[in-house]
Every structure is written in structure tokens, then in C-alpha cells.
Amino acid sequence: MQKNTTLGEFIIENQSDFSYSSGELSKLLNAIRLAAKVVNHEVNKAGLVDLIGNSGDVNVQGESQQKLDVFANKTFIQALNNREIVCGIVSEEDDEYIEVIGNNYNNKYVILMDPLDGSSNIDVNVSVGTIFSIYRRVTPIGTPVKSEDFLQKGNKQVAAGYIVYGTSTMLVFTTGNGVNGFTLNPAIGTFYLSHPNIKFPEKGNLYSVNEGNYSHFPQGVKDYIKYCQKIEEDRPYSSRYIGSMVSDFHRNMIKGGIYMYPSSFPYPKGKLRLLYECNPIAFIAEQAGGKASDGYTRILDLEPTEIHERTPFFCGNKYMVDELENFINKYS
């Protein structure tokens, strides 16, 4: 596939890669593309209008919602509802899954999403993102969606991706046939293929973790951080942490590195959500030649039990995640 291919052209030319699809998955990706452009427009003018700061509400996670959280959530849900291409939606911002009644329950797919990852960074003009995960429903077509349609292992995903709103806006996704990145040309509102077949570099030298929580980390993670900092032939690694998982992961996938969000005293089960943060990023990482783990188990093999379930998360170059697991397993 040539660079400068548009996202629309790419979707049409690669429809054969979309398992079971007769056009619905292509329409779903196009709905995400449309919503991403609307959110990008608002992110870019957030400082000029009343879209920064706290909305005054708290989401199901107990986190204060930012105004752009609310806007992004409504935008993506509206784009998906209007096209009647999914039978259900899970969002970080909503307590329960959303049942989409249209088309007589005949839609095949469900989507889970974090509409605006790292939204607290908006106030200081730092990159944020959107994460999405797509599954084929398991309940019979023609019936209302149920929780089991969402509570599937990550290895059942048919597509996953993220949008990073930064110096340029990129949409990166996989349907299980490699990872491709598309950059938005804001002058004409079109995404162009800019990063075909993305792969982690063979070696990485970056580690991303909130070291302010170091004293609360498990001992194996502490030991690994010290290992990263030790002066050796190929070390120390460089520490880079933005605080928006999409941005941190995107950088590490392009340049080579590991992203870590371990369990801690405040979050004994981890802070990141399995279904709509960890699973889609893990799917992308594996398709790019990387690895994602909770420290012991492959992320995509974890069995979810609730839609807002949390998990420790380690993701990046395969050999770096392997090194980390060795440290963690010393204390297992």
C-alpha cells in the first residue's frame, strides 16, 4: 500500500481482511473517522472556547470529568448511533453499556472506548487521545445486546485502534493484519496513510512510568526500574512519561520502549481499564511485534468479569516486557 493513500481508499481496498464483514465494519471505521475529525477540531480550539477544565461531574470510575471528556463521549456515541452500525457501546464515561436499538438489533458489532484518554492534559496543551476496541457480538443477531457481548477476551477483537491529537492528528488501527497509521490533513479534512505497517524497533531504550508512585510499586517493578537506570553497555534507558497512555504508547511503538502502569497501594488491581484501554493497545502492540502483559499473563488472554475492570499493564518491545516479567516473577 502506497503512502498518501486515503483512509477511505485503504478501507475499501482491504475489506477482504475484515473477517465476516459485509460492509458494517468498514462503516464503523468510517464513523470513528468522522467523530475523530470533530473531536480534533474541538481539541485544537479548546483554549479559545469554554472547553477546558472540569465539567463538575464524576464518572463511574470516581474521576472528575473534564468538559472535553463529555464532548468527546457524546460525539462518538452520536456518530455510532446515527449510522446504526453497532448493537452496543461501552464507554469509560458511562456506568453501564449502551444498548443500540436501531436496525431491529441486526447489527453485528459492539464497540468499547475511552473517548478522551489523558484529558486532564488539555488544560496544559499536551497530547491526548481516543482508544477503541471492536468485537463481533456473541448473542444471536436480532436480539438485544447483553453483557457477554462486551465481556470477551482481548484475543477475540476484530479491530482496535487509537487517535492521538498532537502536533498532528493520527489514527492508528489494526484488523489483525498489521498496524497502519493515518495522519489528518486539516486543510481538507482527510486522513492519509503516513505510517504503513508499523513495527516496534528491534531494540528499545525508553521506559514510561509515573515514578512519583515508585514507593507504592511491587518490589519486582522497583527492581526493574533500577535495572533501567543502571549504567551498562546498553543502559541506562531514558525515562519519558507524558501521562496520556495513547501518547506514551505511540512514542514507544515508533521509537522503541516499554510503558508501565503497575498495581500500587492506591490501586491494588491497577488503574487502567482492561476492556477499552489495555486490550486494544495490547492488540495493536502484538500486531506491531511487541508484547503486553499484566506481569504474569498475556493481556489478551485475561477473562473479563465486569466492563470497567482494571488491571496492571506493561506493554512495549517484547524483550523489554520479558525482562520486566523476569523481575516480577522473582517475587511471585
Q: Are residues 93 and 232 in the same domain?
A: no
Which amino acid is it at 279?
A: N
Q: Provide the pLDDT for residue 59.
A: 54
CATH of the domain at 320: 3.40.190.80
How crowded is residue 218: how many other Cβ atoms within 10 Å of its Cβ? 17
Does 116 carry a binding-site annotation?
yes
Mark which of 153, 175, 195 sits at the end of a domain: 195
Q: Provide the pLDDT for residue 272.
A: 96
Does 119 carry a binding-site annotation?
yes
**111: in domain:** yes
Q: Are residues 180 and 258 in the same domain?
A: no
Q: Are residues 148 and 232 in the same domain?
A: no
Q: 325 lies in which domain range?
A: 206-329
Does 300 carry a binding-site annotation?
no
**151: in domain:** yes
CATH of the domain at 131: 3.30.540.10
Does 117 carry a binding-site annotation?
yes
Q: Are residues 112 and 18 in the same domain?
A: yes
Q: Are residues 250 and 302 in the same domain?
A: yes
Q: Provide the pLDDT for residue 159.
A: 94
Tens digit of pLDDT per residue, the chain (332 long)?
Answer: 567 799 989 988 887 766 555 677 788 888 999 999 999 988 877 554 444 545 455 555 555 567 788 889 999 999 998 887 899 999 999 999 999 877 778 889 999 999 999 877 777 778 899 999 999 999 999 999 999 999 999 999 999 999 999 889 999 999 999 999 999 998 898 999 999 999 999 999 999 999 999 999 999 999 999 999 999 988 899 999 999 999 999 999 999 999 999 999 889 999 999 999 999 999 999 999 999 999 999 999 999 999 999 999 999 999 999 999 999 999 87
**75: in domain:** yes
Q: Are residues 181 and 221 in the same domain?
A: no
Q: Provide the pLDDT for residue 48.
A: 47
pTM of this prediction exceeds 0.85: yes
Does 118 carry a binding-site annotation?
yes
**144: in domain:** yes
Does 55 carry a binding-site annotation?
no
Does 123 carry a binding-site annotation?
no
Mark which of 173, 195, 217 sits at the end of a domain: 195
How many domains would you assign to the chain? 2
C-alpha cell at 106: 441486526
**1: in domain:** no
Q: Are residues 167 and 293 in the same domain?
A: no
- The C-alpha torsion from 277 through 33 and 66 to 48, rounded to 10°, is 150
User: Do 158 and 175 meet the contact criterion of CB atoms below 8 Å apart?
Assistant: yes
C-alpha cell at 288: 506491531
Helix or strand run (H / E) with residue 202: none
Q: Which residues, in sequence order, are bridge partners of residue 73? A: none
Contacts (Cβ under 8 Å, ≥6 apart) of 250: 129, 162, 164, 170, 172
Q: Are residues 150 and 57 in the same domain?
A: yes
CA distance 202 to 93: 37
Mark which of 167, 195, 223 sits at the end of a domain: 195
C-alpha cell at 228: 533501567
- Percent helix, strand and coil across the chain, each to the nearest 5: 35, 25, 40
Q: Are residues 143 and 191 in the same domain?
A: yes
**201: in domain:** no
Q: Are residues 122 and 262 in the same domain?
A: no
Q: Provide the pLDDT for residue 17.
A: 67
CA distance 47 to 69: 15
Q: Are residues 187 and 288 in the same domain?
A: no
**70: in domain:** yes
**24: in domain:** yes
Q: Provide the pLDDT for residue 332.
A: 74
Q: Provide the pLDDT for residue 26.
A: 81
Q: Are residues 130 and 22 in the same domain?
A: yes
